[in-house]
Amino acid sequence: MNNRYFVVIAAVFILSACTTGKLFYIDRAGNRTLGCEVEFVGMPSVDKFAVEYALSHCAKRAVEAGHRLEQEQKYLLELDTSIPPAPCGKAWDHELAEGEFDSGNLSKKEYGYIVAHIDMGLAVVNECSSG
């Protein structure tokens, strides 16, 4: 009986560490369509920003394609999703971002945005100018 209790507690903990989000848009025919569904697992206080970043990116792409957003998701178009550049000669990866966050160089929001940026395959080497 005790083992079952710990399994239930562990399952609740694992499930609570998952942050998800969905973006729906209205297509040109007027149909409500699921545009994106995202999930981040780790630190919920950071993952909520990763979800926000991914959904904002998706929302902007949907509008560029001529679709309309539902009213409650239009705020995603106004978000400033800029992220700090990676150090010169490097691209953001999870190890670098985590190190910068742990050192206090990134806020939770910046770290979450960078995590999503990496996971979405958008990270590129920061080619700093030499002059």
3-class DSSP string for 20-88: EEEEEEECCCCCEEEEEEEEEECCHHHHHHHHHHHHHHHHHHHHHCCCEECHHHHHHHCCCCCCCCCCC
pLDDT tens readout for residues 58-92 = 999 999 999 999 999 999 999 999 999 999 999 99
pTM: 0.83
Residue-range domain boundaries for the chain: 17-126
pLDDT tens readout for residues 101-124 = 999 999 999 999 999 999 999 999
